[in-house]
Amino acid sequence: MNESYRQTDDTDLVKASIEGDKLAFGEIVNRYQKMVARTVKGMLGDSVFAEDIGQEVFIKLYYSLSEFRGEAKLSTYIQKIAINLTLNEIKRRKRFFSMFSQKGNNEMYEYEVADFDSEEKREASEIVNKALMRLEPKFRIIVAMRMLQGYSTKETAEILDLPLGTVLSRLSRAQGQLKDILDKL
Amino acid sequence: MKTPDLKKLIIGSLNANSDSEEIAGKLEKEGVSYKFSNGFTDKVIDKIFSASSTVTREIEFVKSMNYVFCRIAFTGVAAIVILLISIFLMEGSVSINSFLGLGDTYDESIVCLLTGN
């Protein structure tokens, strides 16, 4: 779709997108959709709804590009939008389920088992998804940042706007919770 | 990777000093990868730019409504003024008092009106 922008850096892509260049914005979406998918699907489960949130992330990004001053990396900016929208969706689901459903917190997330080329890979994906969905959202986000995105503790703290100490303590508590969950799986 | 090894890797990824980038890469190789469906970019672009054209159409509609309103309002005001003038001319009572609505009002009647006597 946008071969001409493959080599263009983020700053120029942002400038072109602000001027209404579809191809430039398409390149931003191509570049960062995998990162957004890891955050959104890691937090909400691999479902159609997660895909909708993913689209919303980029739509919100497009309309807020003029506010992007380039002080932080574009990836960090997108990641923050993705996290905010995902956490809002979790809150919305919690409200909905507490009002209209008897289902527990663990069951309000769903995921579709994608096609895998081996049974081992399918099992690995299922274990990770199940474990993530059973974690409390505040721990899940930290685990998703570290385990799925590969961010360091410092980067995680920066993206989540949390003090480093808080991230470290949540990491250790998340590890404990995750151990218990994985033992039962 | 066997399930117990995978579990170990997951737990290990949360150690503060672990190389999370390497672990994320390993997990991806093992099948823990997330991606959106094919055509995701096109869907996003369509949504953004079709919404933009809807907004543009709405703005154009509001602008044309404003234009029509101005035309109607000015024409209406002009018609009312002409009608008033023609009525006053026909009745022969064009005066500043009648414009101000003071035609039949005398000082005494105002005093009566204000004092109630």
Spell out the domain ranges in chain B. Answer: 1-35
Contact between A143 and A135 (Cβ < 8 Å): yes
> Does the pLDDT at position B115 exceed 80?
no
CB of B34 less than 8 A from some CB of A: yes
Across A22-49, average pLDDT: 90
Same structural domain, A64 and A107? yes
Q: Model confidence at B30, in pLDDT bands (50, 70, 90)?
A: confident
Say yes or no: A86 and A122 in one domain.
no
Q: For residues A123 and A154, is the Cβ–Cβ distance under 8 A?
A: no
Do residue A147 and residue B36 have CB atoms under 8 angstroms apart? no
> A146–B42: do the CB atoms touch at under 8 Å?
no
How far apart CA A12 and CA A47 sit, in angstroms, is 33
pLDDT digits (tens, 9 = 90+) for B53-75: 677 777 778 888 888 898 899 99
* CATH code, domain carrying A10: 1.10.1740.10
Same domain, A43 and A129: no
pLDDT at B94 over 70: no
Which range is most confident: A126-130, B44-48, B111-115? Answer: B44-48
Q: How confident is the model at residue B102 (pLDDT cuts 50, 70, 90)?
A: low
- Which of B27, B32, B45 is nearest residue A22 as measured by Cβ atoms? B45
Reduced to 3 states (helix: H, G, I; strand: E, B; else coil), residue A174 is helix
Q: Is the ipTM of this complex over 0.90?
A: no
Give the Cβ contact number of residue B48 at 10 Å.
21
Q: What is the CATH number of the domain that holds A176?
A: 1.10.10.10
More confident residue, A82 or B97: A82
CB-based burial, A45-74: b 16+ in 10 Å, e otherwise? bbeeebbebbbbbbbebbeebeebeeeeeb
pLDDT of amino acid A103? 53
Please state, rounded to an integer, the average pLDDT across all residues of chain B: 81
Q: What is the pLDDT of residue A58?
A: 95
CB contact under 8 A, B32 and A182: no
**A13, A123, A128, best to mutate vs chain B, most B CBs in 10 Å:** A128
* Window from A114-128, A159-173, B73-87 with minimum mean pLDDT: A114-128
What is the C-alpha to C-alpha distance for residues A13 and A15, in angstroms, rounded to an integer? 5
Instruction: For chain A, say whether B45 makes contact (Cβ under 8 Å).
Output: yes
Same domain, A68 and A1: yes
Are A10 and A76 found together in one domain? yes
Query: According to the per-residue pLDDT averaged within each range, which of A12-21, A100-109, A114-123, B6-15 is highest?
Result: A12-21
pLDDT, average across residues B83-109: 70
Residues of A in Cβ contact (< 8 Å) with B22:
150
Count of domains for chain A:
2
Q: Is the CB of residue A21 less than 8 Å from the CB of residue A27?
A: no
Q: Compute CA distances A65 → A10, A25, A31, A50, B48, whole Å.
A: 12, 10, 16, 22, 13
Residues A69-121 have pLDDT tens digits of 888 899 999 999 999 999 998 888 877 766 665 555 555 555 555 566 677 78
Domain that holds residue A147: 113-185
Q: Name the residue in chain A with its Cα closest to that of B49.
A: A22
Give the per-residue pLDDT at A115.
63
Average pLDDT, chain A: 85
- For residue A152, which residues of chain B lie inside 8 Å, CB to CB? 20-21
Asked whether the beta carbons of residue B14 and residue A175 sit closer than 8 angstroms, the reply is: yes
Residues in chain B closer than 8 A to A182 (CB atoms) = 7, 10-11
Tell whether A129 and A173 lie within a shared domain: yes
- Picking from A66, A91, A111, the residue at the C-terminal end of a domain is A111
The percentage of chain A sitting over the pLDDT mark of 70, rounded to a whole number, equals: 87
